[in-house]
Each structure stands twice: as C-alpha cells, then as structure tokens.
A and B are shown apart, each in its own frame.
Chain A
Amino acid sequence: MITVILDDMLHARRKTLTELAEEVGITLANLSILKTGKARAIRFSTLDAICAALDCQPGDILRYEPGARSGESAAAD
C-alpha cells in the first residue's frame, strides 16, 4: 500500500493542510483523501504541485507498506 506522509513535511515547512491545499490547487477534502490513504491514484501534476509547495522529493512524502492495496477502503465505499 502506498501512503502519503504529509505531516512531517508540513511541520518542517510550517504549513497547514489548508495552506497546502490552496497552494496545490486541490480541495482540502481531496488532500485529506490523499492523506488518509483513500485515494486510488494520484496524478503526476498533483504530486508535482505538492512537491513544489513543500520543496521536497516524491520519496519524502510517499511510502510503500506491504499489505492492503491503495484506495481499497475507498473502493469498498
């Protein structure tokens, strides 16, 4: 499962989730979906915007964990 870890980078960059959502250009709801692992996929454009906003690499905010597949909980909704 791919998880999006934003908390550490947000803390390091002194930003809130709301501010990040505004900079990236997606809704807070969608950013929360990403953060809670309910997204099925992320566009490169979104990943690009997040990395630009947080001044980081994709590997800094993406982590792979063996087990359930990404977005499966969303698929079960």
Chain B
Amino acid sequence: MSRSYPASLPIAYVVLRLLIVANIALAVAIAALLLVLPHEAWILQSLDLEPGPKADRIIAGMRAIAVIGIVGCALNHLILKRLVRIVETVRQGDPFLPVNARRIHQIAWALLSLQLLGIGVAVIVRLINSKEHPIDIDSSASIAGWIAVLFAFILARVFAEGSAMRDDLRGTI
C-alpha cells in the first residue's frame, strides 16, 4: 500500500545511514587508539606524565574507557540498524508489526546499556582525574538519556499492542 509520508522519513533514513557509517568510523578510530595506547612512551610524553604508578593508572583507565567506547559503538550500531529496519516498514506502509515491537524493545535495552556504560566512564574518569593531569572525557550520562530509556520501553509496549490491534483489524471484514 503506497501513501504519502512526511519528508522527515526519507531524511531520517539518510541520516541514519550516515550515522551508521560515522559510528563505524568512530569504532575504528577508538580501536586504533587502543593499538597506540600500548606505546606508553608516546602517551606519557603527550600527557606530560612521568613513568610510575600514577601514569600506569591513567593509561589503564584510558584503555578501559576505549574498550567501553567500542562496546558503546556496537550498541549504537544495533540501535541504528534497528531504526533503519523500522523506517523501512513505515515506508512499506505497515509499521505495527510484532517484529518492530521486538526491535524497539532491543533499542530500549541498548539505550539502558549505554547509560550504564556512561556511568562506568564517569567512575573511571573520576578515579584517574587529578588537578595535575585533568582528564576531560564526557561520559554522556544524562537525565535525558534515562528518559529516552523509559520512553523506548513504553514505545515497545505501544507497538506490541498496536501490532495486536493491527492483526485483529487485518482479519476484520
């Protein structure tokens, strides 16, 4: 069934595709950073650190944050791919499907995981931060993020009910 839909939909589709590419590039960049991190002399020089327990702690913290970053990129990829599939079903004219309810549920769990990872990053930054060597890394944890998690879980439920109603309607003559 073809019908007109707002311009926001094709725009969203293109933006999602671009974000997927950007996210992959970010993951590659973080992975490259992890490869560089073992070359501690270079890191120590760039951070103006002297070899010792403090420097070891900072480098270990940065490695942990980089690993968390890669996990975050994987979660972003899951979210973006699910959103692309959902947009495709809207274009096909039938978004209220059980599979979309499952996709949104998965997105909700991924968003929750991202919030928890953000807390992890904030904890690590707090542990390695100091006046002498301030570490400025945004943990991206926010109230808006938690609201988005709740919103996604609720929307998943809405889609589950909507797909059941759609199923009933499909069999109604």
Interface positions of A (Cβ within 8 A of B) = 26, 30-31, 33-34, 38-43, 46, 71, 74-75
Residues of the B chain whose Cβ atoms lie less than 8 Å from the Cβ of A71: 171
| Whole-angstrom CA separation of A71 from B172 in the bound complex | 9
Q: Is there an interface contact between B173 and A75, defined as CB atoms closer than 8 Å?
A: no
Q: Is there an interface contact between B167 and A41, defined as CB atoms closer than 8 Å?
A: no
Q: Is there an interface contact between A30 and B173, defined as CB atoms closer than 8 Å?
A: yes
* 5 interchain residue pairs of minimum CB distance: A40-B171, A41-B172, A39-B173, A30-B173, A74-B171
| Whole-angstrom CA separation of A39 from B167 in the bound complex | 11
Residues of the A chain whose Cβ atoms lie less than 8 Å from the Cβ of B167: 75
Decide yes or no whether B132 CB sits under 8 A from chain A: no
Decide yes or no whether B168 CB sits under 8 A from chain A: yes
* Residue of A with least CB distance to B168: A40
Residues of the B chain whose Cβ atoms lie less than 8 Å from the Cβ of A31: 173
Q: Is there an interface contact between B173 and A26, defined as CB atoms closer than 8 Å?
A: yes
| Whole-angstrom CA separation of A34 from B167 in the bound complex | 16
Most buried by A among B167, B170, B173: B173
Given contacts A41-B172, A75-B167, 8 further A-B contacts (CB under 8 A): A31-B173, A38-B171, A39-B171, A39-B172, A39-B173, A40-B168, A40-B171, A71-B171
**Chain B, 131-173, contact with A by CB distance < 8 Å: what is the 0/1 string?**
0000000000000000000000000000000000001101111
8 contacts between A and B (CB under 8 A): A33-B173, A34-B173, A38-B171, A41-B168, A41-B173, A42-B172, A42-B173, A75-B171
Residues of the B chain whose Cβ atoms lie less than 8 Å from the Cβ of A42: 172-173
Beta-carbon contacts under 8 Å, B67-88 to A: none
Q: Is there an interface contact between A43 and B173, defined as CB atoms closer than 8 Å?
A: yes
Residues of the B chain whose Cβ atoms lie less than 8 Å from the Cβ of A33: 171, 173
* Residue of A with least CB distance to B172: A41
| Whole-angstrom CA separation of A24 from B144 in the bound complex | 53
* Residue of B with least CB distance to A32: B173
| Whole-angstrom CA separation of A30 from B171 in the bound complex | 9
A75, chain B: closest CB distance, angstroms: 7
| Whole-angstrom CA separation of A40 from B170 in the bound complex | 8
B154, chain A: closest CB distance, angstroms: 26
A35, chain B: closest CB distance, angstroms: 10
| Whole-angstrom CA separation of A26 from B168 in the bound complex | 18
